[in-house]
Every structure is written in C-alpha cells, then in structure tokens.
Amino acid sequence: MQETNHVAVFDFGSQYTQLIVRRVRELGFYAKLYSPEDIAEVGSPAAVILSGGPKSTSEPDAPDIDFEKLQSFGVPVLGVCYGMQLLNIKFGGSVKASNKREYGPAMLKPTSHDDLYAGISGESQVWMSHSDTVENLHAKAQVIAANQHGTPVSLKWPGEFYGIQFHPEVTHSHEGNQILKNFLNRATDLQPFLIEDFKREMIEGIRERVGDKQVVCGVSGGVDSTVLVVLLNEAGVNVRAIFVDNGLLRKDEAAEVQANFKRMGVEIETIDASKRFLDALAGKEDPEEKRKIIGNMFIEVFWDAVGDAEMLAQGTLYPDVIESASNAKSKASVIKTHHNRVPKILELQAQGKVLEPLAELFKDEVRELGASLNIEADILGRHPFPGPGLAVRCPGAVDQNRLDIIRDCDAIFIGKLKEHGWYDKVWQAYAGLIPVKTVGVKGDERSYEWATNLRAVISEDAMTAEWVDLPAQLLREASQDILNEVSGINRVLYDISTKPPASIEWE
Ligand code: XMP
C-alpha cells in the first residue's frame, strides 16, 4: 500500500534506524521504514529522514539513493550521520574518509538561529558514532551547528534539506527529540499516529483477508501472541489457538497461561510435548544445536496438530520484519535469523496464507493496542520470554533436574522483584543455571553444588541492554531464599554485563 503524508525513513543500515521510526511515532506521527532502493514505493511522504549507516560513502558498494526522486517529493529532508554525508555529496561537496572513529558524547552548539535548533540550549549533549566527516561544502550550504571544537556537525542546503552528524534518536542526545520535533514542524499535513485508528484498520484488514477461513495461531502466553489472538477474536474470525508446552517453561507457566486466556474468554488448545522436547535435547550442549532442535521440534509438533492450515497468523512485530529485511539485503549485521521466517512459513507466505497484523507495530505499541482491547495490565506487563525457553538460560545440556532448579530459583527471584515493586521497573529478569560445581557448607555438611545467575536488565526492544542496579536488600532476600530453599544451589551470582557485548540470555 502506498502511504501519504507520512514520514519516510530510509535505512542505510545503522543499528539505530528503528529508533528513528519509534521516536517519530512517539512524537505522534506515522513513520515507516524503507530501503533506499525502494524509493519508488514510498508514495507521497510529508517528510523524509535518511538514517545513518556503517559504510563509508567512499566504499564502492556504499548504499545510495535516487536524489532526483528524493527532490521530487518537495518535502523537508533530514540526513542523519551517513545520511548527511550522502546529502553533502549530492549537493556537490565531499566527504573525508577516516579510520578514526568518534564514538560517544559531543557538545552541540547551534551557530545560527535556524528553526531546527529552536528551543535548544547553547550547548547540548549529542551522541556521535562516525568516522567520516563532511568537507568542501556546496556554496549554498549553511553551517547551522558545530561541535565543541568548531567542526561543522549540522548543515542546511537549499530546498529544506538538513544534515546532522549526530544521532538525535538515541537518549544520550539529550535534546534529540526536540530537534526531531523541530524538523517535523517544517512539514505540512503530517499523518497522526493513533493506535485506535490502527486497530480499526487492522480489524478491517483481517476481516477482508480471512473471510470465513479458519486461522491457526500459536500462543505462548507472551504479549504479542496474546494481543494477536484477542485482536483476531475481536475481528470475529474463526481462530484456532494452539499452545505448545515444550517443557522449557517457567514454574507453573502452562497453568498460568491457560488461566489467563480463560480470564479473557479465549479458548486455547494445549499440547503437552515436553517429553518430546526433552528427549530430543538430551545430552546436547552446543547452543546453536539446542536452538535448532527446539525450533524444529516446535514446527513438527505444531504442524502435526494443525494439519493443512487455511491460514496462519503470527505475532511478528515491526522490528522482526525490519531485521529480516535488512538481513536479506545485508546492510546491518544480524546476529540471529528470526524464528518467524523459517522455510515452512516462507512457503506459506508465498501462498498468501500468512497473516501478520502486528507487523507495523513496536512492542510498546502492541501493549497500547492490547490495553485498547481490554487486556489486563498484568498480562500486558509480562516480561519477554524467549521461544527456546529455559534452555537458553542453562549453558550446556538441559534435563529435568536442571530445569526444575532454574524454575525454583527464577520463581523466588521474580517473586522478590514483585514484592519490592521492581518487576514493572525492569524490562526483563530471570534466574538461570551455571552448571559448574563449587564448594560450600550447608548445615554442617560440605556442599558441592551449582550456581544460579540472576539477571535483570532495562532495554529498548532488546537491541541493547543495561543491568539494573537492584536494591541490595532485594538481592539479599532473593539470595537467602534461594540458598535455603533450592537444593542443588550453593551460590547466587548477579550478572552485571551490558548488551553488547553480552546478550540478555546466556545462549
Ligand atoms: P538476547 O539474548 O539475544 O535476547 O540478547 C534478546 C531478547 O530476545 C529474547 N530472545 C528470544 N525470543 N525467540 C524469542 O522469541 C528466541 O529464539 C529468542 N532468543 C532470545 C530474549 O529473551 C531477549 O528478550
């Protein structure tokens, strides 16, 4: 569908590109991400943003954009980092390549009274992440801001083209949102982003595509699949929701998920396949092999139950789509292939049988949609939980005993977070197992047992994460209860690793 009056964001491969889309939506306007080679599909935007990217404009395969087409939109354009360097070249300037990277905070000093910096302090912290810099500016290019050394970091060219070397979309750019807002103020007739409008359109779209066919859908109890099923129900289509218990769930989770759906008046079918999963995983230690076994087994169990599906609905979100797309076009480096894009699903997709109504939304927007569908806050506030479940929280082989130990530690830790009012403040938390034995004393006996690792992080869509400085009292109580109550554990560790370089899960 060709859009009108939206903000078109072109992706040159920066790890922050999704954040630009998010920020624009948070400011209340509809933004959509495009690959620069798809410029012909953009419709008629009200504003354009060119993202940053990992390449140097001097590299032979550096991504480019059809500048004539871009100019033909006749709307304000903002080039961020690589986007600014590319614009400088398009306007006849050049870019000085460098191997030295400037990464981190810098001081922004507006040097003119341009509206882009309206209301911005004389010195404002911004976040830099680049090697190359602009030089040989076009005669009509105007420097509108510099850094603390007087180097130009923001340009304006004729026809409402703007460039900024820094990243306004990251929170370390303290007044980044205001700068984006100022830029969007230059645009006219911007389309607002309202979840209620989206809901109405989604429901109409679902009805149109599904008709009287049956839609099957896997549910995990997580936010995305729950909102998806409730949305399908609201659209009045014939849904068959299947919940696979893979034996890798948290303590009492299967029962809890069933109770939650019952509460919402949605019927689900549960398949207890735990034995099949655990048998297949027996003795397997390699993380990728474990993931593959779990992924393949899920497909086997799910499709055995489904048979021939008329349609399959998935709770794929916008970041997943973007990640898969950039993976295919290999601009950004991607760590894991997304589980919603396995061959069986790609095959169904080619037949037009896959429905992904949430594919335009970010996680927090899905929560907003869920609230407007009257899903209760405790369900919407559940922490994310990985598809391969506890298997990625136990390095090495998994078995019933190890899983039970993780479950007990995790239940105690999560219970303490809730008790101390921290569950909703952290983005994700869990206890895992480090199956390395160390010596201790329990009662009067020598013990030789494993350790549990507690992890609590804050994050924005899991791309990066910071560990949470939990109160010592909370950690003390969690540790004490785990050591007293969980047999097999004689040591409790708190994980203070950021992502990157560590990931959130241990595998
Ligand atoms: P990592 O460990 O990669 O995790 O930093 C980032 C986020 O993704 C979740 N995760 C998964 N979710 N299937 C999922 O549905 C998976 O295979 C998977 N692996 C990791 C993880 O819990 C965290 O929120």
486 and 349 in a common domain? no
Residue 197 has pLDDT above 90, yes or no: no
Encode pLDDT of 273-330 as tens digits. Answer: 999 999 999 999 999 999 999 999 999 999 999 998 899 999 999 877 766 655 555 4
Choose the final residue of a domain: 322, 352, 380. 380
Choose the final residue of a domain: 160, 184, 208. 184
478 and 402 in a common domain? yes
Q: Residues 45-62: what's their mean pLDDT?
A: 95
How confident is the model at residue 362, as a pLDDT?
Answer: 87
Choose the final residue of a domain: 184, 212, 242. 184
Determine whether 169 is an active site residue.
yes
Q: Residues 249-260: what's their mean pLDDT?
A: 97
359 and 260 in a common domain? yes
Backbone angles phi, psi at 8, to 5 degrees: -90, 120
CATH assignment of the domain containing 340:
3.40.50.620
Closest CA to 116 of 105, 126, 106: 126
Contact in structure between 41 and 81 (CB atoms under 8 Å): no
CA of 473 to the centre of ligand 1 (A): 29
CA–CA gap between residue 275 and residue 251 (Å, rounded): 16
In the chain, what percentage of residues exceed pLDDT 90? Answer: 85
CA–CA gap between residue 453 and residue 25 (Å, rounded): 37
**pLDDT band for position 340 (50/70/90)?**
low
Contact in structure between 220 and 243 (CB atoms under 8 Å): yes
CA of 24 to the centre of ligand 1 (A): 26
CA of 360 to the centre of ligand 1 (A): 20
Question: Any residues with CB less than 8 A from the CB of 105 and at least 6 apart, and which?
Answer: 125, 126, 127, 128, 172
Residue 422 has pLDDT above 60, yes or no: yes
CA–CA gap between residue 124 and residue 203 (Å, rounded): 44
Residue 346 forms part of a structural domain: yes
31 and 165 in a common domain? yes
**pLDDT band for position 338 (50/70/90)?**
low
Long-range contacts of 482-488 (CB under 8 A, 24+ apart): 482/408, 482/409, 482/412, 482/413, 482/431, 482/452, 485/408, 485/412, 486/405, 486/408, 486/409, 486/412, 486/452, 488/401, 488/405, 488/449, 488/450
Contact in structure between 149 and 128 (CB atoms under 8 Å): no
157 and 281 in a common domain? no
Encode pLDDT of 111-154 as tens digits. Answer: 989 999 999 999 999 999 999 999 989 888 999 999 999 999 99
Residue 335 has pLDDT above 70, yes or no: no
Select which of 130, 167, 339, 383 is catalytic. Answer: 167
253 and 173 in a common domain? no
Residue 400 forms part of a structural domain: yes
Q: pTM for the complete prediction?
A: 0.81
Q: Residues 389-409: what's their mean pLDDT?
A: 98
Helix axes 195-210, 363-372, angle to 10 degrees: 80
237 and 167 in a common domain? no
Residue 386 forms part of a structural domain: no
CATH assignment of the domain containing 124:
3.40.50.880
CA of 344 to the centre of ligand 1 (A): 21
CA–CA gap between residue 351 and residue 210 (Å, rounded): 14
In the chain, what percentage of residues exceed pLDDT 70? Answer: 96
Residue 74 has pLDDT above 70, yes or no: yes
376 and 402 in a common domain? no
Residue 2 has pLDDT above 60, yes or no: yes
Residue nearest to atom 21 of ligand 1 (CA): 386
Q: Residues 61-73: what's their mean pLDDT?
A: 97
SS3 166: coil
- Site residues for ligand 1, CB cut-off 6 Å: 339, 384, 386-388, 428, 462, 499, 503-505
Contact in structure between 154 and 143 (CB atoms under 8 Å): yes
Residue 213 forms part of a structural domain: yes
Domain that holds residue 109: 7-184
Amino acid in the structure at residue 338: H
CATH assignment of the domain containing 478:
3.30.300.10
How confident is the model at residue 79, as a pLDDT?
Answer: 98
359 and 317 in a common domain? yes
Select which of 3, 6, 169, 339 is catalytic. Answer: 169
Q: Residues 456-483: what's their mean pLDDT?
A: 94
Determine whether 167 is an active site residue.
yes
Share the mean pLDDT of the chain: 93
User: Burial letters for 232-249: b for 16+ Cβ neighbours within 10 Å, e otherwise?
Assistant: bbebebebbbbbbbbbbb
Residue 505 forms part of a structural domain: no
Closest CA to 396 of 249, 284, 279, 276: 284
Select which of 81, 217, 394, 409 is catalytic. Answer: 81
* Closest atom of ligand 1 relative to the 383 alpha carbon: 24
* Torsion of the alpha carbons at 250, 253, 257 and 262, rounded to the nearest 10: -170
Q: Residues 348-355: what's their mean pLDDT?
A: 92
Determine whether 339 is an active site residue.
no
465 and 368 in a common domain? no
**pLDDT band for position 496 (50/70/90)?**
very high
Residue 389 forms part of a structural domain: no
405 and 375 in a common domain? no
CA atoms within 13 A on the CB side of 34: 25
Residue 78: other Cβ atoms inside 10 A = 28
Contact in structure between 458 and 426 (CB atoms under 8 Å): yes
- Total number of domains constituting the chain: 3
Residue 414 has pLDDT above 90, yes or no: yes
Residue 74 forms part of a structural domain: yes
Residue 426 forms part of a structural domain: yes
344 and 261 in a common domain? yes
Render 386-435 in DSSP notation, one character per residue. -TTGGGGGSSS---HHHHHHHHHHHHHHHHHHHHTT-TTTSSEEEEEEEE
Please give the DSSP secondary-structure letter assigned to residue 49. E
